[in-house]
Amino acid sequence: MGWKTVVAENRKMDGHNLGLYAIFDGHSGHEVAEYLQSHLFDNILSEPEFWRKPVTAFKMAYRSTNDHILENVVGARGGSTAVTAILIDQKYLVVANVGNSRAVLIRRGKVKQITVDHEPEKEEEKDLVESKGGFVIKMPRNVPRVDGQLAMTRAFGDARVKDHITVEPSVTIEKIDRDTDCIILASDGLWKVMSNEQVTECIRGIENGKTAAEELITEALESGSCDDISCVVVMFH
Q: How confident is the model at residue 237 (pLDDT cuts 50, 70, 90)?
A: confident
Q: How confident is the model at residue 1 (pLDDT cuts 50, 70, 90)?
A: very low
CA-wise closest residue to 10 among 40, 41, 34, 39: 41
Q: Is the pLDDT of residue 32 over 90?
A: yes
Q: What share of the chain has pLDDT > 70, as a percent?
A: 98
Domain that holds residue 13: 2-235
Q: How many other C-beta atoms can be found within 10 angstroms of the C-beta atom of residue 53?
A: 13
pLDDT tens digits along 46-81: 999 999 999 999 999 999 999 999 999 877 679 999
Q: How far apart, in whole angstroms, are the C-alpha atoms of residue 102 and residue 111?
A: 13
Average pLDDT over residues 149-155: 95
Instruction: Write the CA distances from 40 to 56, 96, 103, 143, 226, integer angstroms.
Output: 15, 12, 17, 29, 28
Q: How far apart, in whole angstroms, are the C-alpha atoms of residue 116 and residue 23?
A: 14
- Total domains in the chain come to 1
- Half-sphere exposure of residue 195, counting CA atoms within 13 Å on the CB side? 5
Q: How far apart, in whole angstroms, are the C-alpha atoms of residue 37 and residue 65?
A: 11
Q: Is the pLDDT of residue 120 over 50?
A: yes
Three-state DSSP class for residue 151: coil
Average pLDDT of the residues of the chain? 94
Q: How far apart, in whole angstroms, are the C-alpha atoms of residue 86 and residue 20?
A: 5
CA-wise closest residue to 155 among 98, 83, 70: 98
State pTM to two decimals.
Answer: 0.94
Q: Are 31 and 78 in contact (CB under 8 A)?
A: yes
DSSP string of 160-184, one letter each residue: GGTTTSB---EEEEEE--TTEEEEE
Return the sign of the alpha-carbon dihedral for residues 18, 103, 101, 165: negative
DSSP H helices in 176-208: 188-191, 196-202
Three-state DSSP class for residue 44: helix
Q: How many other C-beta atoms can be found within 10 angstroms of the C-beta atom of residue 133?
A: 9
Q: How far apart, in whole angstroms, are the C-alpha atoms of residue 202 and residue 233?
A: 12
Packed helices 31-45 and 54-68: angle between N→C axes, nearest 10 degrees: 140
- CATH number where 70 lies: 3.60.40.10
